[in-house]
């Protein structure tokens, strides 16, 4: 009995989070998602409509960037795990080091410099360099940030709540870009060439002939968001505390490869990494492709551009209060699997709206976005707590604690999700002939009814398949059910006691 209480006290030493701790941790993802949401929401449209880059080139560029991430991410993870711990901790200092480069790189991606012709090789080269530079800066901040979760607290319930706060922080980080999205798509109206006045229809309304991107809104918005990113990351640096410090072991030749093999052999980490890869792919696909869909298929601009994203994440405002309780009752795997099945069904239902007039179909489409988001947000709110469970699973089964390497492994798969999204978006654009619809001398794009029908089918079927696969993987492959997580907590306590006795771990 006394032995168990001793183990409990060790866990409690690295726990006991207050409201300010949850908020400080969430601010890290507010800062990161401020700039990352520029990539997921606006950059794809910016590349095709402003830089006039071919979708096939964009797809290849994204793939090349992710291949480099396959090298860059593990390097950053090993740096975090093996460098000498500073007076600020092992992971927290990288917020300080990386905030300025990250903010700068986010703005550079959108600058259209004089002398670089749109659609040309120079613009393609500039887009490639700035996009890869952004990815490296993002890695420098996000790998340490994700690793920080495992050393902020050891309590499973607190980690679940921490994951909720992180997801809420990510949503808050996305919100400014949603506002920009409602402002940067402007309507193009038919005018009389001789007088310059608008041509009106029989009802006296201006005749809309297309949509275009307001470049000034995006540039000013990107600069404001970059400044906000720096502020949020500095606040996160000041407010977080690393309660678990593992003493670094002198790196040996082949250690990195051994660590990666341990991760790849762990069923929980491998399955969750692939599930999260599909999650990010689905999120990025819908955020990028829905901009084209609303603009071209539904012929709407303004607030309609941001509405699908708002409705997708609106359920989070409700679920954030109930998810920790549902996790305690049913388990993380159980509620996230149910949620993804619901999201898959909602996206499949969207497909059948293609038989309705777009003018009326847009309303049930938005309602289904909300239902899809209701299911999706169960996993969004819990995925980071599930990562910490996987890291614990690896530690108690192998005796090795490589938080940075483990998180870089997980993040690499999420970046593969970006590749899937990029391939899916650009292949969908190629399939419906998007680039052929661009008039190079004008901001107005024209498409046939067949092209628009193809756009809609791809916009609904692709997410339905992704979310359906995630539900299947959660129920049939991911092993950490409610029962297994409870057993893992007992093993973790025993392992922690031994690690402290052997001076491998220190609790602050």
Task: Give the tens place of pLDDT for each residue, 120-171.
Answer: 999 999 999 999 999 999 999 999 998 888 788 878 888 889 999 999 999 8
Separation of alpha carbons 148 and 90, rounded Å: 8
Mean pLDDT to the nearest integer, 335-352: 97
For the record, the structure tokens of 319 come out as 């679920």
Quote the percentage of the chain above a pLDDT of 70.
Answer: 86
Domain membership of residue 320 (yes or no) is: yes
Domain membership of residue 141 (yes or no) is: yes
pLDDT value at residue 494: 79
The pLDDT-based confidence of 210 (bands split at 50, 70, 90) is: low
- pLDDT tens digits for range 277-324: 999 999 989 988 998 899 889 988 778 888 998 899 899 988 998 998
Separation of alpha carbons 266 and 73, rounded Å: 19
Mean pLDDT to the nearest integer, 337-351: 98
Separation of alpha carbons 383 and 282, rounded Å: 15
Q: 458 near 286, Cβ under 8 Å?
A: no
* Nearest C-alpha neighbor of 407 from the set 69, 143, 153, 162: 143
- The domain that holds 25 is classified in CATH as 1.20.1250.20
For the record, the structure tokens of 261 come out as 């093999």
The pLDDT-based confidence of 343 (bands split at 50, 70, 90) is: very high
The pLDDT-based confidence of 7 (bands split at 50, 70, 90) is: very low
Separation of alpha carbons 453 and 315, rounded Å: 29
For the record, the structure tokens of 493 come out as 């306590």
Domain membership of residue 9 (yes or no) is: no
Q: 159 near 17, Cβ under 8 Å?
A: no
The pLDDT-based confidence of 188 (bands split at 50, 70, 90) is: low
What b-and-e string marks burial along 279-315, b requiring 16 or more CB atoms within 10 Å of the CB? Answer: bbbbbbbbbbbbbbbbbbbbbbbbebbbbbbbbbbbb
pTM as predicted: 0.78
Q: How many domains does the chain have?
A: 1
Residue for token digits 């909300």? 370
Mean pLDDT to the nearest integer, 83-98: 88
Rg, Å, the chain Cα set: 24
pLDDT value at residue 441: 42
pLDDT value at residue 202: 65
- pLDDT tens digits for range 11-45: 666 678 899 999 999 999 999 999 999 888 889 88
- pLDDT tens digits for range 161-178: 999 999 999 989 988 988
Separation of alpha carbons 496 and 395, rounded Å: 10
pLDDT value at residue 471: 98
Domain membership of residue 10 (yes or no) is: no
Domain membership of residue 183 (yes or no) is: yes
Mean model confidence pLDDT for the chain: 86
Q: 278 near 163, Cβ under 8 Å?
A: no
Separation of alpha carbons 193 and 269, rounded Å: 62
Residue 181 has pLDDT above 90, yes or no: no
Domain membership of residue 155 (yes or no) is: yes
Three-state secondary structure call for residue 254: coil
pLDDT value at residue 179: 83
pLDDT value at residue 299: 84
Domain membership of residue 423 (yes or no) is: yes
pLDDT value at residue 247: 60
pLDDT value at residue 187: 60
* Nearest C-alpha neighbor of 215 from the set 34, 46, 54, 47: 46
pLDDT value at residue 444: 53
For the record, the structure tokens of 460 come out as 């609904």
Beta bridge partners of 505: 246
Domain membership of residue 213 (yes or no) is: yes
Burial class (CB in 10 A: 0-12, 13-18, 19+), 439: exposed
Q: Structural domain of residue 384, as residue ranges? A: 17-507
- pLDDT tens digits for range 394-444: 888 887 767 778 888 898 898 889 889 888 998 888 888 876 644 444 455
Residue 113 has pLDDT above 50, yes or no: yes
């Amino acid at each position: 009995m006394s032995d168990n209480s001793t183990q409990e006290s060790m866990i409690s030493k690295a726990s006991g989070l207050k409201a300010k701790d949850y908020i400080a941790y969430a601010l890290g993802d507010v800062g990161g998602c401020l700039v990352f949401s520029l990539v997921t929401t606006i950059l794809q449209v910016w590349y095709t409509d402003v830089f006039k880059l071919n979708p096939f080139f964009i797809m290849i560029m994204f793939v090349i960037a992710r291949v480099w991430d396959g090298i860059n991410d593990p390097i950053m993870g090993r740096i975090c795990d093996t460098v000498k711990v500073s007076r600020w901790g092992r992971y927290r200092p990288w917020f300080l080091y990386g905030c300025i480069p990250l903010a700068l790189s986010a703005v550079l991606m959108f600058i259209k410099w004089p002398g670089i012709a749109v659609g040309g090789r120079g613009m393609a080269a500039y887009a490639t360099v700035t996009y890869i530079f952004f990815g490296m800066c993002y890695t420098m901040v996000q790998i340490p940030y994700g690793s920080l979760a495992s050393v902020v607290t050891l309590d499973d319930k607190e980690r679940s709540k921490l994951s909720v706060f992180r997801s809420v922080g990510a949503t808050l980080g996305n919100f400014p870009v949603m506002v920009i999205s409602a402002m940067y798509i402007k309507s193009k109206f038919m005018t009389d060439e001789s007088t310059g006045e608008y041509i009106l229809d029989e009802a006296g309304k201006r005749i809309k002939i297309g949509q275009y991107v307001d470049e000034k809104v995006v540039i000013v918005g990107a600069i404001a968001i970059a400044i906000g990113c720096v502020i949020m990351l500095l606040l996160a640096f000041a407010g977080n505390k690393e309660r678990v410090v593992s003493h670094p072991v002198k790196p040996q030749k082949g250690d990195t490869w051994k660590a990666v093999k341990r991760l790849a052999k762990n069923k929980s980490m491998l399955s969750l990494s692939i599930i999260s890869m599909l999650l990010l792919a689905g999120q990025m696909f819908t955020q990028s492709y829905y901009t084209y869909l609303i603009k071209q298929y539904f012929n709407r601009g303004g607030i309609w551009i941001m509405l699908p994203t708002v409705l997708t994440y609106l359920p989070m405002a409700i679920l954030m209060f109930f998810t920790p309780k549902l996790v305690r009752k049913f388990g993380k795997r159980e509620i996230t699997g149910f949620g993804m099945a619901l999201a898959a069904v909602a996206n499949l239902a969207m497909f059948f709206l293609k038989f309705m007039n777009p003018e009326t179909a847009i309303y049930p489409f938005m309602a289904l976005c909300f239902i899809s988001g209701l299911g999706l947000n169960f996993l969004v709110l819990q995925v980071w707590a599930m990562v910490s469970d996987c890291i614990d699973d690896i530690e108690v089964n192998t005796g090795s604690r490589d938080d940075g390497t483990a998180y870089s492994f997980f993040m690499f798969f999420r970046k593969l999700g970006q590749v899937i999204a990029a391939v899916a978006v650009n292949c969908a654009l190629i399939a419906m002939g998007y680039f052929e619809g661009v008039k190079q001398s004008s901001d107005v794009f024209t498409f046939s009814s067949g092209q628009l029908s193809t756009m809609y089918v791809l916009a609904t079927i692709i997410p339905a398949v992704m979310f359906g696969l995630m539900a299947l993987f959660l129920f049939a492959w991911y092993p950490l059910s409610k029962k297994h997580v409870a057993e893992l907590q007992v093993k973790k306590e025993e392992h922690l006691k031994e690690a402290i006795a052997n001076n491998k771990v220190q609790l602050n």
